[in-house]
Amino acid sequence: MTPLAPPATIAFIGLGMMGRPMATRLVAAGFKLRVFDVSQKAVSDFVGAHPSALATASAKAAAQGADALITMLPDGKIVRQAVLEGRDPAVDGLAPGAIVMDMSSSNPVDTQKLARDLAARGLALLDAPVSGGVKRAVDGSLSIMVGGGAADLERARPVFGAMGKTITLCGPAGAGHALKALNNYLSAAGLVAMCEALVVGEAFGLDPGTMVDVFNTSTGKSNATEVKGRQQVVSRAFAAGFATSLMAKDLRTAGDVAKFLKLKMPGLEQAVAYWNDADVKLGKGSDHTEIFRYAEMLAEKEG
Q: How far is the CB of 244 from ligand NAD (least distance, A)?
A: 11
Q: Is 262 a catalytic residue?
A: no
Q: How far is the CB of 159 from ligand NAD (least distance, A)?
A: 16
- The residues with which 168 forms a beta bridge, in sequence order, are 145
Angle at 279 (CA atoms; ends 132, 164), nearest 5 degrees: 10
Nearer to ligand NAD, 145 or 234 (CB): 145
Q: How far is the CB of 217 from ligand NAD (least distance, A)?
A: 26
Candidates 94, 111, 82, 92; CA nearest to 181 is 111
**How many contiguous H segments (helices) and E segments (strands) does the chain have?**
13, 9
Name the DSSP letter for residue 57.
S
Nearer to ligand NAD, 75 or 127 (CB): 75
What number of residues does the chain have?
303
Nearer to ligand NAD, 194 or 246 (CB): 246
Q: How far is the CB of 197 from ligand NAD (least distance, A)?
A: 23
- The residues with which 130 forms a beta bridge, in sequence order, are 144
d(CA 98, CA 91): 10
**Using an 8 Å Cβ cutoff, are 260 and 111 in contact?**
no
Residue 22 sits at φ, ψ, to 5 deg, of -70, -45
Q: How far is the CB of 189 from ligand NAD (least distance, A)?
A: 17
Q: Which of 32, 180, 228, 249 is catalytic?
A: 180
Nearer to ligand NAD, 187 or 225 (CB): 187
Question: What residues line the site for ligand NAD (CB under 6 A)?
Answer: 13-19, 36-39, 42, 72-75, 78, 81-82, 104-105, 130-131, 133-134, 241-242, 246, 250
- The residues with which 124 forms a beta bridge, in sequence order, are 99
Nearer to ligand NAD, 140 or 208 (CB): 140
- Cα-to-chain-centroid distance, residue 290: 18
Q: How far is the CB of 77 from ligand NAD (least distance, A)?
A: 10
Is omega for the bond preceding 96 within 30 degrees of 0, making it cis?
Answer: no
Minimal CB distance to ligand NAD: which residue? 16
Nearer to ligand NAD, 67 or 250 (CB): 250
Residue 68's H or E segment, with its range, is strand 68-71
Q: What amino acid positions are annotated as catalytic residues? A: 180
